[in-house]
Structure 1
Amino acid sequence: MPTVGFIYPDHAAEDDYPFAERLLGPGFSLPVEHIYGTDLHAVPELLDLGSEQRLAEGAALLAEHEPDAVVWACTSGSFVYRWDGAHEQVDKLAAAAGKPASSTSFAFVRAAEKLGLKRVAVAASYPEDVAKLFVEFLGQGGVEIVSMTSEGIDTAAEVGRLSPEAVVDLAVSHDHPDADAVLIPDTAMRTLGVLTTIEARLGKPVLTANQVTVWEGLRLTGEIPGSTELGELFRCH
């Protein structure tokens, strides 16, 4: 059974992971362990949240699950380190876990590559200065951003309280006609239950943080199952 361990910051939308596990079926295990810091979407706090020490703590908590791979399930706590720093971050996490490792930020880049996406719209929940760092990161990964919108939400807890209807509205209202897909980058947002609804409304792929994080972890194990309920990213398998 492929087992992917996820290090999740604080509490917000971590129930997306057991939900994904149920959708994927009994052949997959997606345990989640938590690390704690401030949930403020601000650069200094995010740098602390994604620090080597905190992620090593998360890796130690995951050890009892004997994961085949480990993923830092936090977009802002990875892209805030910029491209080279985020590579160093996952290298250190892999060393601490003794397993292949990645992060949500790299998951977005690799998922976009898998789907052949060249031009995307970003619908971010973050304040604008943080959202711009995500756009910069995507650009470093070869993804062109045709539009970026920022909801200016200060904390992950607030994002986690968004209703399913609000999440759908955020995605649909921030599409762009020139975009191949819409990207929604916050793991604090519950998106897996509304992915098919959003894609049906837009008529194009949608990549969300928890979706790509699960996909990236499975990619590291070499076993990605097809699913009709987790968006085009999983349907293409």
Structure 2
Amino acid sequence: MTALGILYPGHFAEDDYPRIEQLLGSDIRVDLIGTENEEDADGTATAPGAPDGNAPDHDAWLRRSVEALRLSGAEAVVWANTRGGFDQGWEGAHAQVRELALAAGMPASSTSFGFVNAAREIGVRRVAVAAPYADDVTARFTQFLRAGGLEAVAAHSAGQATAAEVAGWGEAQVRALARAADTADAQALLVPCTALHTASCVAELEKELGKPVLTANQVTVWEALRLTDRRVNAPGLGALFTREPVVQV
């Protein structure tokens, strides 16, 4: 049994994770650890290593999270807040996961890095971004991708203000967002925001668009598996879970 620790802020699309665990159909356990952090007006929970990381409640946040991870028996941990990672920039996001890894005593990463690593895994560089964010937030995400060696050839922003609004979207809205962002130049479509329910529609989106689709909760679990050196074939979770890894030359 491989236990994956997912630090998830708030209560939005956390039900994606038991669905993903079921679709994996293997000896994988996905343990969701609620961070209990409040959101700001943009729907972004305070992240480890964020600019206010020296605040008194930051250390308490980290201690609670680490203790919960240890009790769960997790072998790796991923901070499941896409914007909470890329808003720190490439170097800041690295500092964020380093702090988490040192505190937890296990490999750590974030959803933001999961997108970059997943795109590399399936061998794509040109991507389209379908984001529920405002334009400026989407721009910061594409900048983060660029730092990771990816090119955003198209980006569409839905302009939603809070994670709670995004969490209320149904599959029809997710599909509409994906179609609005897709372009023939893109080798894959990226859908950030872990507040968005996407686990049930990744495979259908790939059939509709004819290309790989990477979504936040999907790549979060994949990134945790990568950290534990596990590969699972799960067609219901899209091309990311069915393709052989790309050999880097």
TM-score category of the 2 structures, normalised to the smaller one: over 0.9
The match for 1:186 is 193
Residue matched to 2:247: none
| Separation (CA, whole Å) in 2 of partners of 1:47 and 1:82 | 16
Aligned ranges for residues 1-237 of structure 1 at < 5 Å?
Answer: 1-40=1-40, 42=42, 46=44, 48-50=46-48, 51=50, 52=53, 53=58, 54-237=61-244
Q: Distance in 2 between matches of 1:38 and 1:128?
A: 23
Sequence identity percentage:
46
Larger mean CA deviation between 172-181 and 209-218 belongs to 172-181
In structure 2, how many angstroms separate the alpha carbons of the residues matched to 1:41 and 1:127?
A: 12
Distance 1:123 1:40, change over 3 A: farther
Q: CA deviation at 1:47?
A: 7.4
Question: Does structure 2 conserve the Cα–Cα contact (< 8 Å) formed by 1:59 and 1:70?
Answer: no
AA aligned opposite 1:13? A
Q: Do the aligned partners of 1:7 and 1:59 also contact (CA within 8 Å) in 2? A: no
Shift of 1:128: 1.3
Give unpaired runs (5+ residues) of structure 1: none
TM-score by length of 1: 0.94
Structure 1 residue 131 displacement after superposition: 1.1
**Cα distance, 1:187–1:17 mapped onto 2, change above 3 Å:** same
TM-superposed deviation, 1:49: 3.7
* Rounded Cα–Cα distance in structure 1 between residues aligned with 2:96 and 2:154: 28
Inter-CA distance 170–41: structure 2 relative to 1 (3 Å threshold):
farther
Check whether the contact 1:119–1:144 (CA below 8 A) recurs between aligned residues.
yes
Q: State whether residues 39 and 45 of structure 2, in contact with CA within 8 Å, keep that contact through their aligned partners in structure 1.
A: no
SS of the residue corresponding to residue 70 of structure 2 reads helix
SS of aligned partner of 1:229: helix
Alpha-carbon displacement from aligned partner over 1:108-147 (angstroms, at most 9, x marks no partner): 0000001111111000001111111101000000000111
Give the Cα–Cα distance (whole angstroms) in 2 for the partners of residues 179 and 29 of structure 1: 33
2:237 match: secondary structure: coil
**Matched AA of 1:36:** E
Equivalent pair of 1:36/1:49 in contact (CA under 8 Å): no
CA RMSD of aligned residues (A): 1.5
Secondary structure of 1:215 counterpart? helix
Provide the C-alpha distance between the structure 2 equivalents of 1:231 and 1:55, rounded to a whole number of angstroms: 33
Amino acid at match of 1:152: G
